[in-house]
Amino acid sequence: MDTDSAAARILECMIWHAAAITLLIAGIILFLWSWFWDRPNFRGRPKHRCPKCWYDLTDSASLPITCPECGRVCKTQRSTTRTRRHKRTALLAILLVLASPIAALTPAYHNGTLLSKVPTGVLVQLLPITPEWRKHLRGPNRNQNHPGFELSRRLSGNTKPMANEEYVELINTIAEGNLFAKPGSPRWAKTTGDWFGSQSFRFEDFATGEQHYPDGTPADQALLDAFERLANVLPQWDPKTRAVWPEGEVITLWSGYEHPSWFSSQLYESATLIIRGHQPEPERVEIKDFLSHFQLKARGKSGDHIECDITLNYHRVPPDWGWNPEEPLPPIKTEQFSISWDIVSTMEDAVRLVDSQEIHEALIVHTAQAIPQSLDDFEFHEDFLEPQFDQIGFGVIIQVYDADEFLGQSEHRWMANKGEWIGRITSMIGTPWEKYTEYTQRAADALSRGSLRLKIIGDPILAMEIREAQTVWKGEIDITYQEALVVIDQYQAMEEQ
């Protein structure tokens, strides 16, 4: 079978290369014909012709000559002896010539080796302008001609071997970024940075934590310096908040931080806020130890326009260092921004609230069956994303009872946009540790007695922690487990119809 496959690949390569040569030769011949063949006094063509309509002017009077066909006035002898250029044919010839290398490269594309001859530095430059690396990692349709795949093959030694100096140059090139993506920018992080994060294990000994070259050679100072340079590439901030917040509700601010995958050092953020518009004098607020977002207590009344100057800091946490608010680490990066928002009267003025029987049924179906086993191991699968639920933000509090006795609760936030998850977050806020450890047994006992009950509560302010959510669910479900099973059976029966 391997011999047959190899023979088939050789035959395919020969056919495509023959096609490439044919296209090249045909294109060159066609171009020469279109550009030079139709010249005056050649193979029976008139000696003098109108340069506009190519009418025969050989027997016309002396200059200037007026073409009897189109009326063009020819004032010079040279204008009547021009070579006729067939531009459309010439364009077709150029297309054939351009198609010839495409045909020659087709076998390499099919074999996944299209980029095998491209220099490593060029591949790194291509990463920011190609689709995101992780979308091409797995599956039968994975793109093996993605620059990230070719770079990974070189790091693993499966293709063109790399010298230690090339590894160092590779990391330094990544740290420099390029015209298409500055280092640390969102685009750089999702392409170049994410690719290197998926390959960084090749440079580290998991047993000792020491760094080395992919071939096992211990790291020298050049490699350590390159990693240090890359470690100083920090995610770019883009602080934002919602345009409006309801009066009396907490306010969430997002720094724009996305967890970096290109180095292992842990970061945390701090912020200093100068808030104006809700009281006569500016208010100064210090926020410590957060990542990506933080919350403020309710400020301002309906109609207030809040202005906020925000100073953001990055701090790097050493591996052996624990958080101590009394001994803050100095920032490794600081930047200032200004954001603003308005205060409105009600929740309805801030977001669109929705509720429906379809949402109730889907929530019951996708949570009730997991309730007896766990409070937090819920999977809101893609089959939950029916069209009417897309682009709806869910902030859901799930409470479980044994009749009227509280057993525990969990909070879940999620939203999808065109079938893609924007975020899924689960927390155990509201459940003491003792109840959490006892939950599985207590829920099983309540289930056996038929007294297990759950509440599913839509909390709009919790859903508003998903910044993209402009429509959120607000509703409440109070149902026993036996009633939930009936809903599940009815739902599944409708799905089968």
Kindly tell me the burial class for residue 249, based on how many C-beta atoms sit within 10 Å of its own C-beta (0-12, 13-18, 19 or more).
Answer: middle
Share of residues in the chain with pLDDT > 90 (%): 31
* Backbone Cα Rg of the chain: 34
The better pLDDT of the pair 311, 327 is held by: 311
Q: pTM (2 decimals)?
A: 0.69
Supply the pLDDT for residue 497.
64
Nearest by Cα to 177 from 240, 261, 234 = 234
CB atoms within 10 A of CB 163: 10
Domain ranges of the chain: 2-111, 120-231, 240-349, 351-496
Q: Of the candidates 117, 216, 111, 214, which has an alpha carbon nearest to the alpha carbon of residue 159? A: 117
Q: For 378-419, how does the pLDDT look when each residue is reduced to its tens digit (9 = 90+)?
A: 665 445 556 678 889 999 999 999 999 999 998 988 888 877
Q: Is the pLDDT of residue 313 over 60?
A: yes
pLDDT of residue 5: 64
Q: What is the pLDDT of residues 88-143, one digit of tens each?
A: 888 998 888 888 877 766 776 666 666 777 788 888 888 888 877 666 555 455 66
Cα angle 395-400-402, degrees, rounded to a multiple of 5: 165
State the maximum Cα–Cα separation within the chain, in Å, rounded to a whole number: 116
CB burial of residue 139 (10 Å; 0-12, 13-18, 19+): exposed
pLDDT digits (tens, 9 = 90+) for 266-279: 888 999 999 999 99
Of 328, 196, 311, nearest to 264 by C-alpha is: 196
Confidence of residue 197 (pLDDT cuts 50, 70, 90): confident
- What is the per-residue pLDDT across 38-77, written as a single tens digit (0 to 9) for each? 888 888 788 889 988 988 888 876 888 888 889 888 888 8
The model's confidence at residue 1, banded by pLDDT at 50, 70 and 90, is very low
Fold for the domain defined by 240-349 = Immunoglobulin-like (2.60.40)
Q: CA 34, CA 39: separation in Å to the nearest integer?
A: 10
What is the spatial distance between Cα 57 and Cα 22, in angstroms, rounded to a whole number? 39
